[in-house]
């Protein structure tokens, strides 16, 4: 699992790569804290290279969404497809996020 974060014109763009399973979920949550500190901005997370996400990973994304809403920012997920789309659909998370 890897998160590459870049700043562009006051917004933050992250690329999620690999598997977010229980073995790496703690590190994933730590990596998301960087974005939570900037949750007053626009955050776009590209999930095209994300192959899997466990429930702890979903919880981290939900925390980031709540933090963004509380601070006046917004969170957008892009390229959610394949297995990750199935997981978002089965858990109902597809209704909770702005997915493009």
- The pLDDT tens digits of the residues spanning 28-84 come to 999 999 899 999 999 999 999 999 999 999 999 999 999 999 999 999 999 999 999
pLDDT band at 12 (very low <50, low <70, confident <90, very high): very high
Q: Cα(92)–Cα(43) distance, rounded to whole angstroms? A: 21
Please name the CATH architecture into which domain 2-99 falls. Answer: 2-Layer Sandwich (3.30)
Q: Is the CB of residue 8 less than 8 Å from the CB of residue 42?
A: no
Structure tokens at 78: 């892009």
Q: In the chain, what are the domain boundaries?
A: 2-99
Q: Cα(19)–Cα(51) distance, rounded to whole angstroms? A: 5
pLDDT band at 88 (very low <50, low <70, confident <90, very high): very high
Residue 32: the pLDDT is: 92
């Amino acid at each position: 699992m890897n998160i590459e974060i870049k700043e562009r014109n006051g917004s933050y763009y992250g690329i999620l790569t690999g598997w977010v399973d229980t073995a790496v979920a703690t590190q994933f949550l730590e990596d998301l804290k960087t974005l939570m500190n900037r949750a007053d901005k626009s955050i776009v997370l590209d999930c095209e290279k994300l192959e899997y996400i466990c429930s702890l990973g979903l919880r981290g994304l939900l925390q980031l969404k709540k933090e963004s809403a509380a601070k006046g920012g917004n969170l957008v997920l892009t390229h959610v497809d394949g297995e990750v789309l199935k997981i978002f659909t089965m858990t109902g998370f597809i209704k909770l996020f702005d997915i493009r």
